[in-house]
Structure 1
Amino acid sequence: MVQSDRWLHLPNSNELPCSDDTPVDNEDQNLIPNILLFLLKFIWTDRNDWFFGVDMGIYHTTGTTPFVPVVPDGFLSLGVERHKGGLSRKSYVVWEENGMVPQFVLEVASLTPGGEYDTKMATYARLGVSYYVIYNPQYWQRDQHQPFEVYRWIDGTYELQVGEPYWMPDIGLGIGRHPYQDGDVQREVLYWYDEYGKRYLTPEEQLARYRERFGELLE
C-alpha cells in the first residue's frame, strides 16, 4: 500500500487501541448492525471489496488527535479488502485504507444520548460519510426527531432524506425497517433492500420459503 507523506508518521493499527472500553447501552446496538452485517455476507457472498464494521473504532485525521476514534454502531466501506491481508481488522484506520472513509454509517440511539444528532454528525460530516442513518425507535420523541432518519451528504452539508426504504444508488443498497422474528418475540429491525424496494430475506427466511414450496417433494 502506498501512503501519502501526511500519513507516514501516523501510528499503525497495532499501536492503536482496538476498543474504547465503552459498553453499548442496549441489545439493539449490537443486534441491528449485526443483522445488516450477516445479510451482506449473504447478499455479497462473491464480493471481496467491502467491509462492514460493528461497534468498531474508526481512526481518522479530521479530529484533534488521530489517537481518538469515532465509534459508530455500524459502518460500511466500499473499495477496501473484505479481509485485510487475510486477517480480521482490530479497528478501521483510514490512513491504512488508502484514505477510504466509510460511505455509510449507522447510529442506534439509546437511553444515554450519544451525540448522534450533533457531535457525531459533525465528525461524520468532516469525514465526508455519504449516508448517515440514525435509528431511534424508543427515544425519538425525547430527542424531537423521527424514529428512522437518513441523511445524505450534499454540497457540504447533511440533508434529511424522505422515503422508506431509502435507496442509496452509489452503494447499491436500500435500507428500511421491517419486523424480525427473534425466537417467540417479534421486533422491528433494519434490513437491506434492492433498487425496487424489495427486502432482502435472511437465509432463515429463504430456507423457510424453500421448505414451503418444495417440502412435499422432499418428504
Structure 2
Amino acid sequence: MVQYNPLQSLPTEDDLPDSDDTPVDNELQVLIPSLLRSILALLWADRMDWFFGVNMGVYYEVGQPAIVPDGFLSLGVPRQKRENGRRSYVIWQEQVVPQLVLECVSQTYGGEYDNKIAKYANIGALYYIIYNPDYGRRDQHDSFEVYRLVNGHYLRQSGNPVWMPELALGIGVEQGTFESWTQNWLYWYDLHGQRLPTPDTIIARERQRAEQERQRAEQERQRAEQERQLREDLLNRLREKGIDLDDL
C-alpha cells in the first residue's frame, strides 16, 4: 500500500495533466464503464459519497505519471467536487484509494496482466476487473476476470457475477442492450445475483407502462361509447313504439 505524507507540499489536480493523452482503441472502452456509471447513478441517486471515473487519470505517487483505468469506483469521497467536476483523481487529495478499477483490453495491448496489475496492487485497489472479450485467446486469459487484493497480491475470484461484499455490489457479464446496441456488457448485480436496472431498462418499463395506460384508457373510451350507443338504440326503439321517456 502506498503511504502518503499529508504534511508534504503536494501538487493538486489543477497542477497535473488530466489524462495521458492516449486515445482509446474503440468506443466500447468508453461505453462499457459509462454503462456501469449510469447504473450506479440510478441505484445511488440519493447518495453523494461515491465517484465513478471514466478514462480519468489517477495520480498515486508524486512525481509519477497518472495511470488511466477505463473505469474506477471510489466510495467515501464526494460525488461532486468543484463546480466543473474533477480534472483528475489525486489520491493524496482524496485520501481514498479507488476500491475498484476496470480495464477493457483493446487491440493494442496495454499491460493489463502485468504492468497495470502490479501498479494497482501497489496502489492498494481492492478489486481489479479485466474485461477482454476480443483478445482473450491472444492473451491466454478469460474474457472476464475479477481479482481481489489479498496480502498485497491479486487473487482471481470465481463466478459470474462476482459478489464484492465490501462494495455491496456484484459485477458480471451478460448479454443486454445499451444505447440500442445488443451484445455482452458488464453489469452490476445484487446479493442474489439479479442484474440491477439500467437506464434502458427503466425507459423500456416506462414505455410499457405508458402503453398499458394508453390501452386501458382506449378500452374505457370504447366501453363508454358502447354504453352510449346501447342507450341511444334503446331510446330509438322505445320512440318507435310511441314511448318517449321525456313524457314520463
TM superposition score normalised by structure 1: 0.91
SS in 1 for 2:205: helix
The corresponding residue for 2:114 is 118
The corresponding residue for 1:45 is 45
Give CA deviations for 1:50-76 in whole Å, capped at 9, x if unaligned: 000000000012xxx534011100000
SS in 2 for 1:84: coil
Cα distance in structure 1, aligned partners of 2:201 and 2:170: 19
Cα distance in structure 2, aligned partners of 1:204 and 1:134: 24
User: Which is greater in Rg?
Assistant: 2
Matched, 1:129 2:125: yes
Higher helix proportion: 2
2:89 to 85, 89, 92: 92
The corresponding residue for 2:173 is 177
Cα distance in structure 1, aligned partners of 2:93 and 2:52: 16
Q: CA deviation at 1:7?
A: 5.2
2:195 to 199, 212, 217: 199
C-alpha RMSD of matched pairs (Å): 1.7
TM superposition score normalised by structure 2: 0.81
The corresponding residue for 1:21 is 21
Q: Which stretches in structure 1 are left out of the alignment for 5+ residues? A: none
- Which runs of 4 or more aligned residues in structure 1 lie more than 4 Å from their structure 2 counterparts after TM superposition? 4-7, 182-185
Identity of aligned residues (%): 51
1:73 to 70, 82, 88: 70
**Contact 1:16 1:67 survives alignment (8 Å):** no
Cα distance in structure 2, aligned partners of 1:205 and 1:15: 41
Cα distance in structure 2, aligned partners of 1:203 and 1:27: 19
Q: CA deviation at 1:85?
A: 3.7
The corresponding residue for 1:55 is 55
The corresponding residue for 1:154 is 150
Pair 1:193–1:30, CA change in 2 (3 A): same
The corresponding residue for 2:231 is none
Give CA deviations for 1:21-64 in whole Å, capped at 9, x if unaligned: 11011111111000001111111000000000000000012xxx
**Contact 2:6 2:92 survives alignment (8 Å):** no
